[in-house]
Amino acid sequence: MRALLTQAAQMALVLLLAPLLTGYVRTLKARLQRRRGPSMLQPWRDLLRLARKEAVVAGNASWLFRSTPYLVFATTWVAAALVPTFATGLMYSWSADLIAVIALLGSARFLLALAGMDVGTAFGGIGSSREVMIATLAEPAMLLIAFTLALVAGSTQLSTVAAFMSSPEVGLRVSLGMALVALLIVGIAENARIPVDNPATHLELTMVHEAMVLEYSGRHLAMIEFAASMKLLLYVSLVACLFLPWGLAQASASPGALAVGAATWLAKLAAAGFLLALFETVIAKMRVFRVPEFLGAALMLGLLATLLMFVSRSL
């Protein structure tokens, strides 16, 4: 019963914090650019406003177009429930591992790409093809990161990996550093952040994710935006639990320990949000055709990390 409650609390917290994290990054970015910017709560207000509005659907849209937002939201939420946020070993975390998380996010992306092409407008097609181009490089890189972690920790189970990472057994490994950099690059690309895609633009030459969801409105758009901010939270939590696993509580720990875990998680989110805003402020957007090179670096780092694992202490 208590396990179920903790898991439910985690899922509710993820839901509550995801738009807040997005708003926090936006506010920080505005401040760094010497603008006032909207308040941190603005994404929540936008979501509520969109949910009240009428959903306009194109005449030739199929059932796929209408069901995709809910499916995307559901898969992303399940994936987020599998990632240890403030505590490891939650109830659901034993049912699936990192590869399942990658697969869930991959299927969400697949559905979105299909829905982008469903109505048959030019923008949806261009957005889908670009998104899939990014995915063909980001997903193998992500899998290689998972393999590296599995070779280090002997498991792809996120709770086990996090426990291993916080033990002194980890030592100093060059592969882990490479995997961290690769994961950061993949996270930036997957979340459509600045060098790869600009989440705040509606400029036809550069947009990727926005072009794909251009046809959506009302509650459908709300679901998709919600899923996008949840994905950002998921990636930040993933980096935090894999590479900075300090302060993670056990699911069976006392409520006090869980509160400490939640507080450190919030601190990590705040730090990561600040770094993301800073990074996005100092870097310029890339041309779309340079993105494969950027992601190719992540793929290369992942592959190199896996290769170098074979020449480590196991000799």
Which of residues 67 and 167 has its CB atom nearest to another protein in the complex? 167
What is the rounded CA–CA span in Å between residue 141 and residue 139? Answer: 5
Q: Which amino acid is at 200?
A: A
What is the rounded CA–CA span in Å between residue 100 and residue 96? Answer: 6
CA 30 to chain centre: 22
Which of residues 9 and 308 has its CB atom nearest to another protein in the complex? 308
What is the rounded CA–CA span in Å between residue 260 and residue 249? Answer: 8
Which residues are 102's β-sheet partners?
Answer: none
Closest Cα partner for 10 from 211, 272, 234? Answer: 234
Which of residues 173 and 219 has its CB atom nearest to another protein in the complex? 173
Q: Which residues bind another protein (CB under 8 A)?
A: 171-175, 177-178, 292-293, 296-297, 300-301, 303-304, 307-308, 310-313, 315
* Joined tokens for residue 219: 């509650």
Residue 249 DSSP SS3: strand
Which of residues 204 and 293 has its CB atom nearest to another protein in the complex? 293
Question: Cβ 311 to another protein, closest distance in Å?
Answer: 5
Question: Cβ 145 to another protein, closest distance in Å?
Answer: 15
Question: Cβ 153 to another protein, closest distance in Å?
Answer: 16
Query: How would DSSP label each residue in 113-137?
Result: HHHHHHS--HHHHHHHHHHHHHHHH
Question: Cβ 206 to another protein, closest distance in Å?
Answer: 22
Question: Cβ 241 to another protein, closest distance in Å?
Answer: 23
Which of residues 10 and 175 has its CB atom nearest to another protein in the complex? 175
